[in-house]
Amino acid sequence: MPLVWSPLSEIKGRKFVYLVSLAMTVLGSVAIALSPNMPCVIGFRCLQATGSSAVMTIGASTLADIFDPEVRGTKMGIYYMAPLLGPAIGPILGGALTTAFHWRAIFWFLAIYAGLCCLSFIFFRDTYRKERSLVYQHALKSRLKHLQKADNIERTRKSSATSSVTAGVTKSPGEMTIVDEEKGIDVAKPDYSQVKVSLKDVSPFEHVWHCLRRINNLATLSATGLFFAYCYMVTYAAARMLAFGYGYNAMKIGLVTLSFGIGSILGSVCGGRWSDRTLAKLKEAQGGKGYPEMRLKSTILAIVMMPPLIVIMGWIWQEHVPIAAVCVLLFVNGFFYIWPYASAVAYIVDANQGRSSIAVATNSLFRGILAFIATELTVPLQDGLGSGWMMTLWAFIMAFAGLLILATYWKGKSWREKAESREAASF
């Protein structure tokens, strides 16, 4: 669904998508709470997920609409605090609601919460500007080609007309002119405001392909997807380890894994602010000139720290040491994994001007697929290898993700500029 919400927001605007998607979330949550059987629960969960996915997809694009690159890292860091709170406090809140009432109470709570969010967006001023959107400009070009073709057919049918002034498209697609045949000059200017673009004029997969053709995008999206997969793997593996190794119930597990969430929240904010500071310093050193890849230098410390910390945490889990050590390692790992993630997402937005919503939607696609795979592999890996060796394997995976970020920092500028030149020539 991110690949649907994103182009829709480029045609109808951000506010429209927020209102429609949150209304779907409310309806899905209410339907789940009233579901009489499991097939209904699963079906309406899909509806709920379809609605809730939109905010994560276009939220970063909204920030890109509002804030300049100099402060965008900080805002992205704050923005990603919210989804990190889900895995952190979700088990605690869900357990409390289930214990006090019933499992259906969780979805009544979600319906009320999503409803309040939907109402708040009624007063939201839309930040979308079509003139800055490459997606909209491509859709406009496609629509104008269609109109030109239809107009040519119509003029062919009326070729026997004897009017001295002929209206039609006489130049390249998009130049609708009226020509005086006696004088041979234009008597009207192109009027784009009369052209109506719809969702059928947008090809989301074409824009995703343009996004992935850029090597810098492919490398960064792969890295952020692996970071996100690591997050979901850790929370799931930690919950299993605490349940089987320490005999904890759901409430205690939630309280322990909260340390990972708190570390992630702090790392997101600090990483975002540090990336802005790094970008500002490098731009100042270059006489005020900067480029998106500069902010990725801020990720080097976290990239170096992550692999050894992951290995240490895995073997601490394996040996069932006192729970305080588990909490500390969860906190530190949460802090350092999200640090490069926040900076990398800010980079994705900066490096895809005019197509940021498609780039963020593609990021959602990558992280969703990789998080699903990581979660599915957690049980066989943890049971077969043990927590220690499983986390050692993940240390190598995170090292690879870090190398992708560093490669983009070193070579991303040339990759991006070559891709932009190629796209400009084809457009």
Residue 215 belongs to a domain = yes
Task: Please give the full DSSP string across 258-283, using - where no structure is assigned.
Answer: HHHHHHHHHHHHHHHHHHHHHHHHHH
Pair (313, 409) in one structural domain = yes
Q: What is the signed CA dihedral for 195, 196, 199, 203, rounded to 10 degrees?
A: 0
Length of the chain: 427
Burial class (CB in 10 A: 0-12, 13-18, 19+), 384: exposed
In which band, very low, low, confident or very high, does the pLDDT at 146 lie, cut at 50, 70 and 90?
A: low
pLDDT score of 175 = 45
Domain that holds residue 381: 2-128+203-413
One domain, residues 79 and 107: yes
pLDDT digits (tens, 9 = 90+) for 152-165: 565 666 665 545 44
Residue 318 pairs in a beta bridge with: none
Are 104 and 147 within one domain?
A: no
Cβ atoms of residues 326 and 215 within 8 Å: no
Residue 347 lies in a domain: yes
In this structure, are 287 and 167 located in the same domain? Answer: no
Element (H, E) at 169: strand 165-169
Domain boundary pick from 165, 198, 231: 198
CATH number of 118's domain: 1.20.1250.20
Within-domain flag for 340: yes
Query: Contact, 271 vs 343, CB < 8 A?
Result: yes
Average predicted confidence (pLDDT) for the chain: 79
DSSP letter (8 states) at residue 196: P
Report d(CA 15, CA 117) in Å as an integer.
12
Q: Domain for residue 422, yes or no?
A: no
Q: What is the 3-state secondary structure (H, E, C) of 327-353?
A: HHHHHHHHHHHHHHHHHHHHHHHHCCC
163 and 21 assigned to the same domain: no
Between CA 330 and CA 345 the distance in angstroms is: 23
C-alpha to C-alpha distance for 60 and 80, rounded to whole angstroms: 9
For residues 244 and 325, state if they share a domain.
yes
The answer to whether position 425 is within a domain reads no
Cα distance between the two ends of the chain: 27
The answer on pLDDT for 392 being more than 90 is yes
Determine the Cα–Cα distance for residues 218 and 366; give it in Å rounded to an integer: 10
More confident residue, 16 or 207: 16
Q: Are residues 119 and 81 in the same domain?
A: yes
Q: CA-CA distances (angstroms) from residue 296 to 159, 314, 409?
A: 60, 28, 6
Residue 240 has pLDDT above 80, yes or no: yes
Domain final residue, candidates 157, 180, 198:
198
Q: Which of 10-14, 73-77, 364-368 has the highest mean pLDDT?
A: 364-368
Indicate the SS3 state at residue 176.
strand
Please tell me the predicted confidence (pLDDT) of residue 186. 39
Q: Are strands 185-186 and 176-180 parallel, antiparallel or unpaired?
A: antiparallel
Structure-token pair, residue 145? 């080609």
Q: What is the pLDDT of residue 409?
A: 92
| Alpha-carbon span 271 to 248, nearest angstrom | 32
Question: Tens digits of per-residue pLDDT, 266-280?
Answer: 888 888 888 888 888
Indicate whether 80 and 94 sit together in one domain.
yes
Q: How far apart are CA 279 and CA 271, in angstroms?
A: 12
Verify that 42 and 96 share a domain, yes or no: yes
Q: Are residues 183 and 264 in the same domain?
A: no
Phi and psi (nearest 5°) for 249? -85, 180
Whole-model pTM: value is 0.74
Q: HSE, CB side, 13 Å, CA atoms: give it for residue 148.
A: 16
146, 173, 198 — which closes off a domain?
Answer: 198
pLDDT-derived band at 109, boundaries 50, 70, 90? very high
pLDDT of residue 405: 94
> Region 97-103: what's the mean pLDDT?
82
Do the beta carbons of residue 223 and residue 404 sit within 8 Å? yes
318-353 pLDDT, tens digit per residue, is: 988 889 999 999 999 999 988 888 888 888 888 887
* 38: pLDDT strictly greater than 80: yes
Token pair recorded at residue 126: 């839309």
Q: Number of folded domains in the chain? A: 2
Say yes or no: 94 and 227 in one domain.
yes
In a domain, residue 426? The reply is: no
**Helix-helix angle 356-426:38-66, to 10 degrees:** 60
Q: Please give the helix or strand (H or E) that residue 156 lies within, else none.
A: helix 134-157
Which structure tokens are listed for 363?
């990021």
